[in-house]
A and B are shown apart, each in its own frame.
Chain A
């Protein structure tokens, strides 16, 4: 398989996953901003969204402050933001067009239809309740695409490269969403563990479609360390860091077997996976949740570059 084709497949999956995760981040932000405390800490939710989506520099070079309109415009539609939802879909579709023969017709047609529908959504149409319709649409299209991938693609190298893209991106995004909490300000009079704190944590669970699942596994209600454990170390949770890393490791193993050769990325994936698989949540909190997540995001990034170096260039 051509390295360029593998690279395009990997990035199609990453960009679709990124679009979906941006939609999730925007949904949780919007939800948080509706909370009663919000008036006192105006803007902190929207500012934190910019931080976790890693586009402080681009955003603040364009806007003075993080108003909801600015943030939505920048993250959803801005052509100058390479990771805006619009650009993610455009880039995914452009890559797909370049390698369309490596995709199944279901995958291609889903992406192409998504791209054809995209211009219907404009900044004015997503004002008010339109925002959630738009974000739901983005999630739906991404889920449909992943479903199409899993249900129709031959299990060979091209499938593994797409899965790698999905899980490298998803791990990154789960870590970032969990880190939103660190950047959120609690109003001065609110206590840690109090009502507002509770709602903030619950929103994070909703962002990763984990609210119900969490309650199935944890009966004592919302507890920060449980949530951290749930999103970092529980392999039952398909968006947890350990699940994503396990998938990355599996895909790399399958490629290693298919090609009869292993690379540095195999070793790195094994290392990250065992930290998560055999670590304890108490260690995470000892290190500091934010510090742990930052470190994970960096490791995951390095793993991504190593995968590129081994196969995609």
Chain B
């Protein structure tokens, strides 16, 4: 991996990369005051329509907005073709893997993955063993986190196949760019993203239970207004024209799920659930959950309702499963992986652990089940004391950690207090899998607003950018 940071516009080389030439011209002819003004407008817009995101455990504003950087990130058509093909391939393999785990378990018999890794994994759901899900689809909505380190080099950092969020930002960011910078947008030929919600509804409807006779009734199950992604839940339900339900709105009778409406009970066929497995059904999982619906798992297993994503899909996005994905692609599809994995050390493995502890100052160490940038150590940025404390935690429970080299994440021009400066970015494209697999050309670009920072998570002070995929 190259040590130097790759800037997607080419700021560091004094030579602008093709796709960015028009943007650079536009930036140089637009005075900074105008940019500041537009940024304020963008913030007012987000605040007024209430696009907010809650950050836990920090006090302060419970409904804060994620900073929006007004300078778009641009991906060329050829770059996107490669990414998109790689995403489809990867999601197919992940889905095949889950179907295998809850079915014949061939990957374990072939000796590629140890059975302990699956059967002792916290994300493995025994209740799903042998269950037939409609169309054999488990990963209806995936968000694949990627980083770029060179002109041709994209790496997958993490797969998210449980309840990935962020797609509403992809859509709203485009919406606001269209309002604020129509002149810039019209100089480019940018692939639209606003059919995402149509595609999502088509995907969900295509996996209705086999015994559903009429147009399927789809509902989005949210944990409620206190969930950090509540805005996104209501936004997606609204765009799809489906009901946004909470646990108490639903009940199960004779293994059929109904919602309580002003006109009496109405049967529900497909639930796009944004509630984690453990909270879905107090009879099957945590008995203290108030977010779920008693009896839902029985209805699901009886084939009377479908859940997206499938229960137990988490086995495929566990950070330690991640290391097996290239092998899965070969095993299930007989193909060579198009997108690369970042070299990853499993601390549960004794040799890897020794390697990690020796080089902890050069590595990023993550909790296998952590998310949102919590529970991780960025070796080179940490103090000696932080590293030592973290090393002690890893030694106490090594199987809970993995480590990766610190990648030189690419940078994009970003409008910060000091003016326009390069900041590190990542990319989360979204893949929809129903009867067919669809990838919307774009994704959520997250940007680390602090100079030099590599942590792009919104819970850690990251912002977002509109992501443009150009058409040929």
> Chain A 84-105, CB within 8 Å of chain B: the 1/0 string?
0000000000100111110001
Shortest B410–chain A CB gap in Å is: 37
> Chain A 223-261, CB within 8 Å of chain B: the 1/0 string?
000000000000000000000000000000001000101
> Chain A 1-43, CB within 8 Å of chain B: the 1/0 string?
1111110000000000000000000000000000000000000
Shortest B265–chain A CB gap in Å is: 10
Residues of A within 8 A of B244 (CB): 99, 101
Residues of A within 8 A of B49 (CB): 105, 108-109
**Interface on chain B toward A: helix, strand, loop, or mixed SS?**
mixed
Shortest A219–chain B CB gap in Å is: 47
| A112 part of interface (Cβ distance < 8 Å) | yes
Residues of A within 8 A of B263 (CB): 1, 259, 261
> Chain B 415-436, CB within 8 Å of chain A: the 1/0 string?
0000000000000000000000
> Chain A 128-159, CB within 8 Å of chain B: the 1/0 string?
00000000000000000000000000000100
Residues of B within 8 A of A311 (CB): 262
Shortest A58–chain B CB gap in Å is: 26
- Whether B237 pairs with A101 at a CB distance below 8 angstroms is yes
Other-chain residue from B224, B225, B234, B261 in contact with A101 (beta carbon distance below 8 A)? B234
| A217 part of interface (Cβ distance < 8 Å) | no
How far apart are the CA atoms of A109 and B243 in the complex, in Å? 21
> Chain B 140-156, CB within 8 Å of chain A: the 1/0 string?
00000000000000000
How far apart are the CA atoms of A165 and B6 in the complex, in Å? 59
- Whether B50 pairs with A108 at a CB distance below 8 angstroms is yes
Other-chain residue from B50, B230, B234, B260 in contact with A4 (beta carbon distance below 8 A)? B260
> Chain B 209-252, CB within 8 Å of chain A: the 1/0 string?
00000000000000011000010001001100001111011000
- Whether A6 pairs with B224 at a CB distance below 8 angstroms is no
Most buried by A among B50, B225, B246, B262: B262
- Whether B243 pairs with A2 at a CB distance below 8 angstroms is yes
- Whether B224 pairs with A4 at a CB distance below 8 angstroms is no
Q: Which residues of A, 257-291, contact B by the 8 Å Cβ criterion? A: 259, 261
- Whether A1 pairs with B48 at a CB distance below 8 angstroms is no
- Whether B48 pairs with A2 at a CB distance below 8 angstroms is no
With A105-B49, A259-B263: A2-B249 Cβ-Cβ less than 8 Å = yes
| B259 part of interface (Cβ distance < 8 Å) | yes
Shortest A307–chain B CB gap in Å is: 11
How far apart are the CA atoms of A6 and B243 in the complex, in Å? 12
- Whether A3 pairs with B48 at a CB distance below 8 angstroms is no
How far apart are the CA atoms of A100 and B246 in the complex, in Å? 14
Residues of A within 8 A of B262 (CB): 1-3, 6, 157, 161, 255, 259, 311-312
- Whether A94 pairs with B225 at a CB distance below 8 angstroms is yes
**Interface on chain A toward B: helix, strand, loop, or mixed SS?**
helix
Shortest A63–chain B CB gap in Å is: 31
Residues of A within 8 A of B237 (CB): 101
- Whether B50 pairs with A2 at a CB distance below 8 angstroms is no
- Whether A101 pairs with B238 at a CB distance below 8 angstroms is yes
- The residue of chain B having its C-beta at the shortest distance from the C-beta of A312 within the complex is B262
- Whether B50 pairs with A113 at a CB distance below 8 angstroms is no
Other-chain residue from B224, B234, B245 in contact with A2 (beta carbon distance below 8 A)? B245
> Chain B 245-280, CB within 8 Å of chain A: the 1/0 string?
110110000000001111100000000000000000
- The residue of chain B having its C-beta at the shortest distance from the C-beta of A255 within the complex is B262
Shortest B225–chain A CB gap in Å is: 5
Shortest B274–chain A CB gap in Å is: 15
How far apart are the CA atoms of A68 and B303 in the complex, in Å? 64
How far apart are the CA atoms of A171 and B295 in the complex, in Å? 43
Shortest B97–chain A CB gap in Å is: 36
- The residue of chain B having its C-beta at the shortest distance from the C-beta of A310 within the complex is B262
Q: Which residues of A, 157-175, contact B by the 8 Å Cβ criterion? A: 157, 161
Residues of A within 8 A of B225 (CB): 94, 97-98
Shortest B66–chain A CB gap in Å is: 17
Other-chain residue from B47, B224, B234, B261 in contact with A3 (beta carbon distance below 8 A)? B261
How far apart are the CA atoms of A4 and B259 in the complex, in Å? 10
Shortest A257–chain B CB gap in Å is: 13
- The residue of chain A having its C-beta at the shortest distance from the C-beta of B243 within the complex is A2
Residues of B within 8 A of A259 (CB): 262-263
Q: Which residues of A, 106-120, contact B by the 8 Å Cβ criterion? A: 108-109, 112-113, 116
- The residue of chain A having its C-beta at the shortest distance from the C-beta of B263 within the complex is A259
How far apart are the CA atoms of A109 and B260 in the complex, in Å? 28
How far apart are the CA atoms of A311 and B262 in the complex, in Å? 5
- Whether B261 pairs with A2 at a CB distance below 8 angstroms is yes
How far apart are the CA atoms of A311 and B49 in the complex, in Å? 29
Shortest A256–chain B CB gap in Å is: 11
- Whether B50 pairs with A97 at a CB distance below 8 angstroms is yes
- Whether A112 pairs with B234 at a CB distance below 8 angstroms is no
Shortest A64–chain B CB gap in Å is: 35
> Chain B 286-320, CB within 8 Å of chain A: the 1/0 string?
00000000000000000000000000000000000
- Whether A98 pairs with B224 at a CB distance below 8 angstroms is yes
Other-chain residue from A94, A112, A161 in contact with B50 (beta carbon distance below 8 A)? A112
Most buried by B among A98, A105, A113: A98
Can you add 15 more A-B contacts, CB < 8 Å, to A1-B261, A1-B262, A4-B246? A2-B245, A2-B262, A3-B260, A3-B261, A3-B262, A4-B249, A97-B50, A98-B225, A101-B234, A105-B49, A108-B50, A113-B48, A116-B47, A161-B262, A312-B262
The list of the 3 closest CB pairs from A to B, nearest first, reads A101-B238, A3-B260, A311-B262
20 A–B pairs (Cβ distance < 8 Å), ordered by A: A2-B245, A2-B259, A2-B260, A2-B261, A3-B249, A3-B261, A4-B249, A5-B243, A94-B225, A97-B230, A98-B224, A99-B244, A101-B244, A112-B48, A112-B50, A113-B48, A116-B47, A259-B262, A259-B263, A312-B262
Interface residues of A (CB under 8 A from B): 1-6, 94, 97-101, 105, 108-109, 112-113, 116, 157, 161, 255, 259, 261, 311-313
